[in-house]
Amino acid sequence: MNLESLRPILAPVIGAAICFGVSQSGAALKDPTIAQFAARAVSVPDTKDMGPVEIRITRWSTDQDLQDLRAALNDKSPSSMVLPAFRRAQPEAGIVMMPGMQGLGERSRIQQALTFQFARQIDTPSGRQIVIATDHHFRFGEPPVKHLDYGVTVEKPETGTLADPARDPEFTLLDIRFGPDGKGVGKMAPAAKVAYNATKKIFEIENYAAQPVRLTAVKSAKP
């Protein structure tokens, strides 16, 4: 039996094998994103557009995660250099794709990816609220960098920004609040400006209205 005579038999078998391989590959590469948001970063001093931001959430933090983080934030001992809640071996809660560093030429076009370890959401009378916590520093709205002969430094931060944007803090909270139209704004604060809302059972920025906007035009982008 030659190849030509076998072709009608082999064709459907090969086709089925290819389909099976593609389906298996697709399953292996399935996107774990369960919620996705698009936003624009804005400059703190002048609200200038600083580029696109993408937030992908791969898991919502549990009630136990919430209690662990609450206990960690209440621990004021000097030996608490890194939040224990962020040191535990567990899947990350998601990733933020931030604009590149302004003033660095081609690098300004390359988005930077930073993971976060905590994400919670609630529905409020005024709209959805999402909080993200991490031990990284999100440079939303930071002043542009300056070139130096021996490297790169960051300009002195404006009033309302974190004290030292060049150094990762121990804790940063991103508090995003949506209106009835589904569009939101995001603000950021260190641990000293974060409070636990027992009614909502969520962490949020204390005196939210007084903090500068870091993200604008936040909207859902289904994965």
pTM for the structure as a whole: 0.72
Q: Own/partner pairs for 75-84, CB < 8 Å, 24+ apart?
A: 81/170, 82/135, 82/170, 83/135, 83/170, 83/171
- The Cβ of residue 164 has, within 10 Å, a number of other Cβ atoms equal to 11
Using CA atoms, how far apart are residues 189 and 16, in angstroms rounded to an integer? 54
Question: What residue type is 25 in one-letter code?
Answer: S
Most trustworthy range by pLDDT among 14-18, 130-134, 147-151, 168-172:
130-134
Q: 3-class SS at 144?
A: coil
Predicted pLDDT at 55: 96
Using CA atoms, how far apart are residues 166 and 185, in angstroms rounded to an integer? 24
What's the mean pLDDT when you consider all of the chain?
A: 75
Q: How many CA atoms lie within 13 A of 192 on its CB side?
A: 5
Q: What pLDDT, in 10s, does the model give residues 1-56?
A: 554 554 455 444 445 555 555 445 444 567 789 999 999 999 888 888 888 999 99
Query: Does residue 187 surpass a pLDDT of 90?
Result: yes
Q: What pLDDT, in 10s, does the model give residues 94-110?
A: 999 987 654 445 555 56
